């Protein structure tokens, strides 16, 4: 079975902190994604990567950056956390050319 693992289930951070969310997949998938999910807005794509060291902006990249130094690992960085970044963050991965994505369990981030 595909396994996508996010480093934390719950995080509480202070405004202005630099926050790292880590994601690891074990299926040798080329594509990796970061989404955020908010009530009434659904899942919105923040960034995605289709290869090591490659990244593309999604629909809402402002305030975020990403890093992919190894194929299996994709990190989301909040450079200076703000309260409007309180959300559920979901990592996903998929094979190149096959868009069915497999998700991690999510990280519930609260910025206070």
Partner 1 sequence: EDQVTQSPEALRLQEGESSSLNCSYTVSGLRGLFWYRQDPGKGPEFLFTLYSAGEEKEKERLKATLTKKESFLHITAPKPEDSATYLCAVHDRGGNEKLTFGTGTRLTIIP
Contacts with partner 1 by CB under 8 A lie at 4, 31, 33, 35, 40-45, 48, 50, 56, 58, 90, 92, 94, 96-97, 99-106, 108
Smallest distance, Å, CB 45 to partner 1?
5
The nearer residue to partner 1, 9 or 18, going by C-beta atoms, is 9
- Name, in order, each residue with C-beta under 8 angstroms of 87's C-beta and a sequence gap of 6 or more: 36, 37, 38, 109
Which of 4, 24, 18, 8 shows the shortest CA–CA distance to 85? 18
Query: What gap in Å lies between CA 76 and CA 109, rounded to an integer?
Result: 12
Give min distance, CB of 1 to partner 1, in A.
11
């Amino acid at each position: 079975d595909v396994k996508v693992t996010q480093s934390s289930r719950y995080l509480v951070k202070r405004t202005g902190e630099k926050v790292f969310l880590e994601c690891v997949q074990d299926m040798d998938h080329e594509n990796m994604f970061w989404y955020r999910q908010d009530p009434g807005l659904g899942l919105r794509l923040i960034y995605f990567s289709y290869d090591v060291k490659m990244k593309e902006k999604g629909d809402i990249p402002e305030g975020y950056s990403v890093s992919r130094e190894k194929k299996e690992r994709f990190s989301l960085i909040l450079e200076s956390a703000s309260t409007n970044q309180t959300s559920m963050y979901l990592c996903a991965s998929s094979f190149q050319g096959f868009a069915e994505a497999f998700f991690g369990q999510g990280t519930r981030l609260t910025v206070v």
